[in-house]
Amino acid sequence: MTPPSPAKRRLAVMTSGGDAQGMNPAVRAVVRTALHYNADIYAIYEGYRGLIEGGDRIRPATFDDVSGILNRGGTVIGTARSLEFRERSGRLKAVHNLVEKGIDRLVVIGGDGSLSGADLLRREWSSLINELVETGKIDQETADRHPALMITGLVGSIDNDMIGTDMTIGADSALHRIVEAIDSISSTAASHQRSFIVEVMGRHCGYLALMSAIAGGADYVFIPENPPAPGWETHLCAQISNVRASGRRNSIVVVAEGAQDSDHNPIDSDYIRQVLEDRLGEDTRVTILGHVQRGGAPSAFDRSMSSQQGFAAVEEVLSATADTVPSIIGVQHNRVAKAPLMESVAKTHELASLIAAKDYDTALTLRGDSYTELSHVFHSISHALPGVRQKTKSSRIAVLNVGGLAPGMNAAARVAIRLGLHRGHTILGVKGSFAGLAEGDVQEMQWGDVEGWSSRGGAELGISRKVPTVRDLYAIGRGLETHGIDGLVIIGGWDAFESAHTMWRERDRYEAFKIPMICLPASIDNNLPYSELSIGADSALNLIVDSIDRVRQAGAAQRRAFVVETMGGNCGYLALLAGLSGGAVRVYLHEEGITLKDLSVDVERMVDSFRAGQRLFMVVANEKASPMYTSDFLCRLFEQESQDLFDARKVVLGQTQQGGTPSPFDRILGTRLAAHAMDWISNEIDRSRADNAVIGTINGSVKVMSMRQAEDLADWENRRPLKQWWMDLRPILDVLAQRLPVEQTR
């Protein structure tokens, strides 16, 4: 094996420990980014075991080797647990194999164990190299070429158990599997009036249990960081009895596999079943989800975030020197971020020690603000039962949807309604948006009316896109007065924002508008200026990515170029993220437009790629990317210029993108925002204030801002935010999709 020239850096990527969906997109991104930076990239097969075995287990990876793996679960380069790597003798063999191939940079994708192992290898590197020289296994020249090992970690673990990253690779997909299971179980449980106990993975981390309990509308959850005191059986039974007395036909209890009480007595699913059967006479069944949670295709989030992380990991490891403190590349506040590797591992171990020492408050704090917050939110929702009211002053709050459909709207409405009732308010459901309010289609909502809404697509309260004109305002004002409405919760997209904005501007002319109003962002377009993410966008993205997978499969038999058209209006979020998660070669966005020059370059690339043996060319176009070069036009152009090498097909997903079951993320976001919105509106009413506000997430935290602030963040003409954070991801798609350095192709 010829050593690389001094300028040519050589790195390797490996997966280790338990597999997780999203590892393949990360491997793909590492390989392609390395090639983009003109580095040599190797894949190590079967984790540390392969590293120790060497030979064919460590081989160069090409651009095409990682084609077609983006949508595959597990890890195509294999993973293993290796006892031998825990021994110095094993690590000596590993170093020998690496230097023989001229590799001294490593991207390791795995859990805290795998990352600790990598760091140990890094720390021992020079002494292991010396030993190899002394024993004549390598010569001094080889040793001198590799004075240090540079490592970067990506955290692959479905449990989301690592401190230093908000999300580990695989956790979102595992949550999809669990919530799908809870949805299925709920329907059968309700048919038979049964209770179900669902056990999910998570030895020290209750993330999967807590989030699936929120998304699945469960009644009780057991997580290791917030254990109940001994004697919890009484509380559980009282809670389940109350739920049944409220008219719910089933109950769901979610248990993390590491659940225990505050005295460290394990809480076992079977024991919970026994308690419910013995004390309440409930027909109770246990479902232990096990490896199903690791399976299936990675979610859209796991594909796009792992791709971004793989990209960042290569930049990090290539720029590292012997003195660089190794990092993990993770996620913080919805952006790729790095954290010191060993500090993250140490904090992760510290959390387990805190639980062992019964210091649960600190353990929960270490998990981060949103985890703690969502643990409180779950507690509030599960205790918001009829007959338990927090206050006596009754205000009348109306909830309505406005705009296009967005999956997760129902989850938000359900939480707003139940928490509102719990606070002692009268909650009115307005059917059919503002027109319904004007026409008096208003109904008093009861606790049981929203049963099962968290998993339902569509809009149970009805919806209309109509933005009130100045002429409609009088009727809306009268509707507000007739029903004595003291506060308004508006769930919707740009139309909702614009309607609320109009009412805010006209408040001096209409006394009825001087009530607190709050807008929750719900739009698949993700185009609202007051929230980085809106309810519905993640579900739409998953649907588009699933459709791209199907199109890919169907098209693989022929040589074909596809133009997949996504919704989004003038906002390219869906198109770009779907392109990144679906492995598109090219995306067209309204923000960038399409020029004739672009098209000529793209056609040339397309023809070249088919000539080189490619069977498929995937293009994702935003519906408004260009008024002239429509998807239809693009298709005809590609076909015309195909030189008979391929044909072209248009796939317009249309309204399907607004339908379907909401994703776990959208249900959780809807829940979180609705809980905060209800707090805000109750406070406003208590203080006799009448602000107009919007609520969303900024930098991962929930933020309420005034209509005046939101107004300034909006690009009113294009109906999108002035600043679109996700445009920073644009170059990554180009790197992952193209064989040549970007500047040579664009």
Interface positions with ligand ATP (CB under 6 A): 16-18, 48, 81-82, 85-86, 110-114, 116-117, 120, 157
50 vs 492, beta carbon nearer ligand ATP: 50
160 vs 609, beta carbon nearer ligand ATP: 160
Q: Tell me how far, at minimum, the Cβ of 305 lies from ligand ATP, in Å.
A: 18
Contact 271, 236 (CB under 8 A): no
Question: What's the token pair of residue 504?
Answer: 């805010």
Question: What's the token pair of residue 567?
Answer: 């919704």
Q: Tell me how far, at minimum, the Cβ of 110 lies from ligand ATP, in Å.
A: 4
The whole-angstrom separation of Cα 189 and Cα 521 is 32
76 vs 645, beta carbon nearer ligand ATP: 76
The whole-angstrom separation of Cα 408 and Cα 214 is 12
Give the other-Cβ count within 10 Å of 266's Cβ: 10
Q: Residue type at 61?
A: A
Q: Which residues are catalytic?
A: 159
Q: 316 CB contacts (<8 Å, ≥6 apart)?
A: 152, 327, 329, 338
116 vs 395, beta carbon nearer ligand ATP: 116
* CA-to-CA separations, 722 to 148, 515, 572, 700, in angstroms, rounded: 46, 28, 13, 19
* CA-to-CA separations, 679 to 122, 518, 531, 684, 698, in angstroms, rounded: 50, 11, 18, 9, 18
Q: Residue type at 509?
A: R
* CA-to-CA separations, 692 to 4, 190, 294, 681, 711, in angstroms, rounded: 63, 40, 44, 10, 12
111 vs 326, beta carbon nearer ligand ATP: 111
Residue whose Cβ sits closest to ligand ATP: 113
124 vs 641, beta carbon nearer ligand ATP: 124
Q: 343 CB contacts (<8 Å, ≥6 apart)?
A: 164
Contact 623, 565 (CB under 8 A): yes
Give the other-Cβ count within 10 Å of 647's Cβ: 14
Which of the 8 DSSP states describes residue 445? Answer: -
Q: Tell me how far, at minimum, the Cβ of 256 lies from ligand ATP, in Å.
A: 15
Question: What's the token pair of residue 14?
Answer: 């490996």
Q: Tell me how far, at minimum, the Cβ of 288 lies from ligand ATP, in Å.
A: 18
Q: Tell me how far, at minimum, the Cβ of 367 lies from ligand ATP, in Å.
A: 16
As beta bridge partners, residue 198 has: 254, 287
Q: What are phi and psi of 45, to 5 degrees?
A: -90, 140
* Chain centroid offset of residue 718 CA: 26
Give the other-Cβ count within 10 Å of 343's Cβ: 14
Q: Tell me how far, at minimum, the Cβ of 17 lies from ligand ATP, in Å.
A: 2
Nearest to 219 by CA among 203, 198, 205, 234: 198
14 vs 150, beta carbon nearer ligand ATP: 14
Query: Beta strands 220-222 and 251-256: pairing type?
Result: parallel
The whole-angstrom separation of Cα 572 and Cα 554 is 26
The whole-angstrom separation of Cα 478 and Cα 431 is 16
The whole-angstrom separation of Cα 26 and Cα 616 is 22
46 vs 684, beta carbon nearer ligand ATP: 46
30 vs 52, beta carbon nearer ligand ATP: 52
Q: Tell me how far, at minimum, the Cβ of 665 lies from ligand ATP, in Å.
A: 22
Q: Tell me how far, at minimum, the Cβ of 558 lies from ligand ATP, in Å.
A: 40
Q: Tell me how far, at minimum, the Cβ of 353 lies from ligand ATP, in Å.
A: 16
Size of the chain in residues? 746
154 vs 578, beta carbon nearer ligand ATP: 154
**DSSP line for 665-682:** HHHHHHHHHHHHHHHHHH
Give the other-Cβ count within 10 Å of 180's Cβ: 17
The whole-angstrom separation of Cα 191 and Cα 370 is 35
Q: Tell me how far, at minimum, the Cβ of 58 lies from ligand ATP, in Å.
A: 16
